[in-house]
Structure 1
Amino acid sequence: MVSLVELLSIALNIEAEGYAFYTNLAAVQTEESSKKLFQNLAQQEREHQKIFKKLIGEVSQQSSSIDNWVSEEVAGYLKSYANMSIFPAMAKMKQVNFKEGLHLAVEVEKDSIIFYSELLPYAGEEKETIKKVISEEKRHLMDLLALLSQ
């Protein structure tokens, strides 16, 4: 069995990579509105990192609870999903132009929403916090789609 802590650690890495990406994208913007959007997205990713760090600490303290364990099949799926979809896209985002970066960011936000949604059935008391992160990621997605449509 794989612990929920391990999966939350993947979520923490997703947020750390998102923070780095949005910070870098903000730094190269010439238009003030785009710069502010990416700075805001970076700050929200930083807040999500804090949330996942806190959840990891809380879940670690309850490690004897059956709710904190995930089947190998589910864990394998989630790890593979992150490793095959989310992290490679984030690696590409460091080497692309603005428009391509936006498209990749949209994909990463969608994939992050899927990843976090798949975590929900295994979360106990953490469920509401993860739902909040999902809502915020959906707002990120909407902001990015609005920027793409301009």
Structure 2
Amino acid sequence: MLSPHEVLEIALRVENEGADFYRDLAESTNNENQGPVFRFLSSQERSHAETFRSLLKRFEEEAVELVNWDDAGAYMEDLTKEAVFSDRLHDAMNSSDYDEAIALAIEVEKKSIAFYRSFVNNVKTETADALEKIIAEEEKHIELLEGLR
């Protein structure tokens, strides 16, 4: 089982990737309806990252005790990038296929929710509460994205 520190590190990476992805979409779209939504989603993901970053500070002592976290962290980053922010997503964005990018972004939000839900019952209450709040926000992101279709 992953420690709270590890869960938060992974979640932080997911949210930072999401913020960058939505920022890039906002900068590349010419659609006046999509740009504001993508900017909003980017700011939401940054806010989620801040939540995880502040929780991580509470687990700094634990991080010192983790064996080979740097190696595991690099592995988890690669796994997260492929599982959540796949090359398909970046390819769709780069080709300006916004319909596909939106569909894939919805998929990413769903994967993020599933990832966070998998940990809710296995972490400290404080972290579980943060995860639950972020899950609710990610569900709202899906609604926003579906509105762009």
- TMscore range, shorter length: 0.7 to 0.9
Is residue 27 of structure 1 aligned with residue 16 of structure 2?
no
Counterpart in 2 of 1:7? 7
State the shift of 1:46 in Å. 0.5
- For 1:90-112, what per-residue CA distance to the aligned partner results, in whole angstroms no more than 9, with x for missing partners? 55455342111111101000000
Q: Distance in 2 between matches of 1:87 and 1:27?
A: 18
Residues 21 and 93, structure 1, Cα contact 8 Å, conserved in 2: no
State the shift of 1:123 in Å. 1.9
- Amino acid in structure 2 at the alignment position of 1:105: A
- Amino acid in structure 2 at the alignment position of 1:137: E
- For 1:2-45, what per-residue CA distance to the aligned partner results, in whole angstroms no more than 9, with x for missing partners? 42211211111111111111001111222322111000000000
Identity of aligned residues (%): 32
Counterpart in 2 of 1:114? 114
Counterpart in 1 of 2:94? 95
Counterpart in 1 of 2:84? 86
Residues 19 and 41, structure 2, Cα contact 8 Å, conserved in 1: yes
- Amino acid in structure 1 at the alignment position of 2:107: E
Unaligned runs of 5+ in 2: 67-75
Q: TM-score, normalised by structure 1?
A: 0.78
Q: Distance in 2 between matches of 1:58 and 1:90?
A: 33
Residues 21 and 90, structure 1, Cα contact 8 Å, conserved in 2: no
- Amino acid in structure 2 at the alignment position of 1:35: G
- Amino acid in structure 2 at the alignment position of 1:123: V
- Amino acid in structure 2 at the alignment position of 1:95: N
- For 1:96-148, what per-residue CA distance to the aligned partner results, in whole angstroms no more than 9, with x for missing partners? 42111111101000000000111101221221111100000000011111212
Q: Distance in 2 between matches of 1:130 and 1:4?
A: 11
Is residue 144 of structure 1 aligned with residue 145 of structure 2?
yes
Q: Distance in 2 between matches of 1:58 and 1:17?
A: 23
